[in-house]
Amino acid sequence: MSVSVDPDEAILLAALEQFALTGVRRTSTDDIARRAGVNRATLYRRLGTKDEIVGAAYLFEAARVLAGIESAIAGIVDLDEYIATFFIATLRGVRENRLLAQLLLVDREETVRALTAGAGGVLELASAFLVEKIEGIRERHGAAEGREPELGDVEALAGMLARLTQSLLLTPDGPPRVDTDVQMREFARTLLAPMIKGC
């Protein structure tokens, strides 16, 4: 039985593969169309201009990373372990992302620009994902403590945590040191867990 692939998804995967080969700047819409097996008119009709394709491709890859994080935390009941595993899976997911590593090799300047000045859409996606998780954690923590959850400004906290991850990705050799699972777990336990649980 063959599995059908969404045509837009197939184009985005082709775009990401092409970006990894030649970098974003040196990739043309013709390159993407050729790799995706569609003509340029179809490419424009389905996904728009090159800038729109680049933005959609980055969001698509971010969603795949978030799906990996979701898989890593599935079924964890203990809140501190959930938060630590979430943090470890997040950092590993971005630091060990093959596409991102390849893009930094072939087109570092453009990739860094996309991860900073052009990262608004990805940060919004990550923040929305975090809002849902933080609200769930606070509800579970409140229930465990026998009280109503203190939701506070979850959106601001989620945005700050998304930006923290961005910073740890872009500047891995500065403080705080979170290179190993032990360091990540300790950072999550002592600093992130109290903020996220709202205690």
CATH number of the domain that 130 lies in?
A: 1.10.357
- Does 148 have pLDDT greater than 80? no
> Which pLDDT score, from 0 to 100, does residue 151 have?
65
Contact 145, 89 (CB under 8 A): no
Inside any domain, residue 184: yes
On whether residue 35 sits in a domain, the answer given is no
Model confidence band, residue 199 (pLDDT cutoffs 50, 70, 90): low
Chain centroid offset of residue 8 CA: 20
Residue 159 domain-assigned (yes or no): yes
Helices (H), 96-178: 98-106, 108-115, 120-145, 154-170
Burial class (CB in 10 A: 0-12, 13-18, 19+), 166: middle
- Looking at the domain assignment, is residue 65 inside a domain? yes
pLDDT at 4: 63
Q: State the amino acid at position 21 in one-letter form.
A: L
Tell whether 21 is covered by a domain: no
Q: Is residue 16 included in any domain, yes or no?
A: no
pTM of the full structure: 0.83
Confirm whether 186 is domain-assigned.
Answer: yes
- The C-alpha angle 77, 97, 137, rounded to 5 degrees, equals 20
Can you tell me the mean pLDDT for 104-113? 88
The domain containing residue 93 runs over which residues? 58-197
Arithmetic mean of pLDDT over the chain: 90
Q: Classify residue 46: in a domain, yes or no.
A: no
pLDDT > 70 fraction of the chain, expressed in percent and rounded: 95
Name the domain count of the chain: 1
- Other Cβ atoms less than 10 A from the Cβ of 20: the count is 19
